[in-house]
Structure formats: structure tokens, C-alpha cells
Amino acid sequence: MRVLFVCLGNICRSPTAEAVFRKVAAEAGRGSDIEIDSCGLISYHEGRPPDPRATMAAEQRGYDLSTQRARPIVDDDFERFDLLLGMDDDVVRSLREMAPAASADRVVPFLGLDEPGAAREVPDPFYGGMSGFEDVLDLVEDGARALLDHVESRLDPH
């Protein structure tokens, strides 16, 4: 199973989700069963590390973003990944517009997989203060557990 987290620039939300989900999957003994990556819709931050505020907030909760570098989505991602998880509705919409028809069903919102009608967006904290990065972590931690349940049901379908 291969999952890709996608936000706008790949320096706040999607690297946070990648790190959190990587840890959640490893703690569940699924680290080797799931390929996990993140990217952004734009290439503006390509090659740069995550936002220092995202890194600091993540470190305070035991997540490591230090090895991550921003990258833009590429056409191959739509073939390579089983799930492309948009961090907000605009990202999901953009991904669906970019996706080849055969891959469009792989594009889903990161939040709301477990509860239709639940919160579906992880707000972009870039232009706010540290509390926005804490809010992102709260949402991502909850979403990562729900995503693991979803992925495990696809890995062990019985």
C-alpha cells in the first residue's frame, strides 16, 4: 500500500501528516507494509525543509520532520500511489483535475475517511501563529489513526 499526503507547498501540513502517519504505522507494526510520502501542488518550496514552526510543533510531540524536503507532485505519483490524500477541499479538487481518469478515484480527502460528514479539511497554518500548527497536529493525529484503520482494512480484507 502506498499513500501520498498532498498540500499546497509541502512545508506544513503534508510533511506533518507524513511524519505522524509514519510513526502511527510503525507503532502498529505496519511500517514495512505502507510506503508513505508527501508533496505539494506547487514547486515554489522545492528542496526546502518543512516550515520551522511545523518542525518545532512536531518535535514537541515526538515526530521527526528533519529529513523531509519539499517536492511538487509529478505525473507518476498518480500511478504509483494507491491513495493521494488532499489536506483540504481545494487540494482535492486540484488533484482530481490533474489526475488521469484511471487514477481519479485514488484522490480522497485526508480527513473524513472514517466519518462521512466529519471535518474534511486541515487548515493551512502558514500565515498564522504557532497555535495553527498545534491545531494541524491535533487533526492529523486523529486522521492518521482513522487512515491506518482504512489502510489495514485494505491490506487485510476479511
Please indicate whether residue 13 is annotated as part of the active site: yes
Please indicate whether residue 124 is annotated as part of the active site: yes
DSSP labels for 10-70? Answer: SSSHHHHHHHHHHHHHHHTT-TTT-EEEEEES--TTTTPPPPHHHHHHHHHTT---TT---
Q: Which grid cell is 75?
A: 505525473
Active-site residue (options: 2, 12, 13, 154): 13
Active-site residue (options: 37, 77, 88, 124): 124
Decide: 4 and 83 in contact? Cβ < 8 Å: yes
Q: What is the rounded distance in angstroms from the CA atom of residue 32 to the CA atom of residue 93?
A: 30
Q: What is the rounded distance in angstroms from the CA atom of residue 36 to the CA atom of residue 31?
A: 9
Phi, psi (degrees; rounded to nearest 5) at 56: -65, -45
Decide: 1 and 154 in contact? Cβ < 8 Å: yes
Given the C-alpha cell 494541524, which residue does it identify?
136
Active-site residue (options: 7, 12, 37, 88): 7
Residues with catalytic annotation? 7, 13, 124
